[in-house]
Amino acid sequence: MATYSDTDDVLATAATWAQSGRQIALATVTETWGSAPRPVGSHLVIDDEGNFEGSVSGGCVEGAVVAEAVDVIRTQKPTTLEFGVADEKAWQVGLSCGGRIRVYVEPVESPA
């Protein structure tokens, strides 16, 4: 019996959205340092209207990734985002233990 992880769900959603003609971007956690809410390889799929599914962090970080992804869709230029905070501000932006994360955001082309 095959297992179906959260990553599989997000990638399946990305494929479905792209096949239906939605303009989308995929955000992927590429590196973490210290404590981070989501591991490397976690995904968030975002469409050009700001709808999203999945998770790369939570809190304000996720909102910032969604906003940047909408711009990535518009420009079709990928970007790398890095978030890190001191322990005293960590809870406010969703990095509960003061960790840092790097997130790669790329546009996804709809299949022809």
Secondary structure of 48-111 in HEC code, one letter for each residue: CCCCEEECCCCHHHHHHHHHHHHHHHHHCCCEEEEEECCHHHHHHHCCCCCCEEEEEEEEECCC
Cβ 105 vs Cβ 76: under 8 Å: no
Q: CB–CB of 25/45 below 8 Å?
A: yes
pLDDT in tens, 45-67: 999 999 999 999 877 788 899 99
pLDDT at 74: 96
pTM metric for this prediction: 0.82
List the domain boundaries for the chain.
Answer: 6-108
The CA-based angle 36-40-45, given to 5 degrees, is 100
Residue 98: predicted pLDDT:
63
- Ranges of the chain whose pLDDT falls below 50: 1-5, 87-90
Give the C-alpha distances (Å, rounded to integers) separating 50 from 14, 16, 47, 86, 111. Answer: 14, 16, 5, 28, 21
